[in-house]
Amino acid sequence: MLLRSIRTVEQNLRRLSASSFSAYLTSPSSVRRVSATESAFSSPISRFCYSVCVFPRNENRYTTTSLPVSSRWISIRNMSRRRKVGKRLPAADAAYSSAVDLALDSVVKIFTVSTSPSYFLPWQNKSQRESMGSGFVISGRRIITNAHVVADYSFVLVRKHGSPIKYRAKVQAVGHECDLAILEIDSEVFWEGMNPLELGDIPLLQGEVFVVGYPQGGDNISVTKGVVSRVELTQYVHGATQLMAIQIDAAINPGNSGGPAIMGNKVAGVAFQNLSGSENIGYIIPTPVIKHFITGVEEWSKYVGFCSLGVSCQSMENVQIRNTFQMSSEMTGVLVSKLNPLSDAHRILKKDDVILAFDGAPIANEGTVHFRKKERINFDHLVSMKKPDETALVKVLREGKEHEFRITLKPLQPLVPVHQFDQLPSYYIFAGFVFVRLTQPYLHEYGEDWYNISPRRLCERALRDLPKKPGQELVIISQVLMDDINTGYERLAELQVEKVNGVEVDNLRHLCQLIENCNTENLRIDLDEGRVLALHYHSARVATSLILKRHRIASAMSSDLLMEQNPVTELASCSTAV
């Protein structure tokens, strides 16, 4: 009976249509389904799941794994049979075969050991963790992958297809805004037989791409076919920025990150994220963003970021608002509502200006410009593709008159950093008060629902406030390490520091200098909400050393602040930390 059941299952599986298999495409749920089947039928049924393990191109072998695949993989299995009898391959099968051939000598698996800092206890790290991702070789003996694959890395290894050996990799550059990174490997043995992939163009809608990588559920290379659904500006989850992205209907699972999406014989993008709660909706980073990242690293020898115009705009789709700002019926544009004080636009543009065109491209009332054929894209894309210190011609309507201005573009840093990867958080401890700069990663320590749980005032400032001068930071008291010196002040945590002895605090470094160089008997620190800290300076310094010893904290300040102090102050700080 068992043998008959197995044969029946085999016949039913062979009759399944392509749509039946598409629901099982490398999703987390598919792993559970297969596991349940295997537990019922033991090992014989696994050979009918038709998962592909691609071996070197000279070996035309297919083996089974615990992951079922799409019907495209089944057709390739049949394609290998047709190849033997000399029949011509269909175009779709030929494209898949080309993608597989390119992937074998280019796509690699990346193993990362990373350690993230604790923002509530900035003098120590969290537990070490391991993760895996994908990458591919480009010209110049470099490997492209996602920034989130190597974020907060301490050790990175790379393994090429068909090899059991892992090679040590160095991270040359990381762009967290665009979620891209470049790796280098010194070993000559690794590069033997490796072929770089060439970057192509943005695929057209409904164009077929093949996502190659090492997703969860198996150890071997995986190829998934997808169709381009849309091209538009999208929120990059890792970098929290708006850049162009391509949406495809292929599943992009953990482990796929950093792998190429191949169209024809070139790379159309890099897989990097999916839409949570939806099936088979993935996103790839398009080649204009990749090329901008690579070019910036080549020219500046480091990642320099993406430019910003430094303006917040309002759409002008309502006819009444257009009439109010004296726009003719032929005019379209967006209204300037807010300007970043650190941008060049702040010097030239004014609130209530109407931006009509950017570099000669007319801006529609909803803020888009012509992209290609009948497609449109937000004009922010044109801004982001500019190089740092490059100028743009901006056409503006001001009080009914048209003007043209040359505005210099550059990357702009927010008042509260959105991310802080690959670096330790800065801190300064005095009299048990732990001073830190406010960052969004600090707020994220409150948990997934940080927006509702974290202090409301700090959250609002992190998301809305703009810097008024270069180097400005919001400095807060993150916690109070209790001691006799600070008794009664324990409820002043999570408040912003405004002044030290009457001097406004620009940033954490400035606060450290003001306290370390204090020459008065008493120290006054003004906080948010009108609160005040008053300390006897000499007693506070003595108490600091005792508090550090009690909590086993090596230094009263982070290493970046310690190195920037003058030798006298540095020596005093070191002795304080004993």
Write out pLDDT tens, residues 275-319: 887 778 999 999 999 999 999 999 999 999 999 999 999 999 999
- Choose the final residue of a domain: 241, 265, 300: 300
Q: What is the pLDDT of residue 565?
A: 61
Q: What is the pLDDT of residue 52?
A: 30
Please say if the pLDDT value at position 134 is more than 60: yes
Please say if the pLDDT value at position 66 is more than 60: no
CATH number at residue 351: 2.30.42.10
Question: What band does 81 get if pLDDT is binned at 50, 70 and 90?
Answer: very low
Query: How many CB atoms lie under 10 A from the CB of residue 133?
Result: 27
Do 453 and 557 belong together in one domain? Answer: yes
| Spatial contact of 77 and 50, defined as CB atoms under 8 Å apart | yes
Q: What is the pLDDT of residue 53?
A: 33
Q: What is the largest distance, in Å, between two alpha-carbon atoms of the chain?
A: 94
Residues across the chain: 578
What's the mean per-residue pLDDT of the chain?
A: 83
CATH number at residue 104: 2.40.10.120
Token pair of 508, please? 């954490």
Q: Report if residue 50 sits inside a domain.
A: no
Among 16-20, 43-47, 286-290, whose mean pLDDT is lowest? 43-47
Q: What is the pLDDT of residue 24?
A: 30
Q: Report if residue 63 sits inside a domain.
A: no
Do 105 and 237 belong together in one domain? Answer: yes
Please say if the pLDDT value at position 396 is more than 70: yes
Assess whether 444 carries a catalytic annotation: no
Q: Report if residue 232 sits inside a domain.
A: yes
- Choose the final residue of a domain: 271, 300, 329: 300
Look-up of token digits 């099982």: 24
Assess whether 257 carries a catalytic annotation: yes
Total tally of structural domains belonging to the chain: 3
Do 389 and 524 belong together in one domain? Answer: no
Do 440 and 388 belong together in one domain? Answer: no
Please say if the pLDDT value at position 397 is more than 90: yes
> Whole-structure pTM over 0.95, yes or no?
no
User: What's at 384, amino acid-wise?
Assistant: S
Do 151 and 269 belong together in one domain? Answer: yes
Do 109 and 204 belong together in one domain? Answer: yes
Give bridge partners of residue 262 from the DSSP assignment.
210, 267
Q: Report if residue 417 sits inside a domain.
A: no
The number of helix segments (H) and strand segments (E) in the chain equals 17, 28
Domain with 448, as residue range(s), is 427-561
| Spatial contact of 137 and 106, defined as CB atoms under 8 Å apart | yes
Q: Report if residue 418 sits inside a domain.
A: no
Could you read off the pLDDT of 518-561 as tens digits, one per residue?
999 999 999 999 999 999 999 999 999 999 999 999 999 999 99
Please say if the pLDDT value at position 3 is more than 60: no
Closest CA to 427 of 478, 486, 483: 478
Q: What is the pLDDT of residue 91?
A: 58
Q: What is the DSSP letter of 43?
A: G
Could you read off the pLDDT of 468-491 as tens digits, one per residue?
999 999 999 999 999 999 999 999
Q: Report if residue 479 sits inside a domain.
A: yes
The rounded distance, in Å, linking the Cα atoms of 548 and 263 is 58
Averaged over 229-253, what is the pLDDT?
92
For residues 422 and 69, the model is more confident at 422
Q: Report if residue 492 sits inside a domain.
A: yes
Do 110 and 213 belong together in one domain? Answer: yes
Do 148 and 224 belong together in one domain? Answer: yes
Do 251 and 356 belong together in one domain? Answer: no
Q: What is the pLDDT of residue 521?
A: 94
Please say if the pLDDT value at position 71 is more than 70: no
Question: What band does 102 get if pLDDT is binned at 50, 70 and 90?
Answer: confident
The rounded distance, in Å, linking the Cα atoms of 210 and 222 is 10
Please say if the pLDDT value at position 374 is more than 60: yes
For residues 103 and 537, the model is more confident at 537
Do 178 and 252 belong together in one domain? Answer: yes
The rounded distance, in Å, linking the Cα atoms of 169 and 110 is 9
For residues 36 and 442, the model is more confident at 442
Do 270 and 385 belong together in one domain? Answer: no
The rounded distance, in Å, linking the Cα atoms of 312 and 355 is 11
Q: Report if residue 281 sits inside a domain.
A: yes
Do 271 and 374 belong together in one domain? Answer: no
For residues 112 and 60, the model is more confident at 112
CATH number at residue 442: 3.20.190.20
The rounded distance, in Å, linking the Cα atoms of 432 and 428 is 10
Assess whether 101 carries a catalytic annotation: no
Catalytic residue among 257, 343, 426, 478: 257
Catalytic residue among 93, 148, 161, 426: 148
Catalytic residue among 93, 179, 344, 526: 179
CB proximity list for 445: less than 8 A, separation 6 or greater: 118, 119, 120
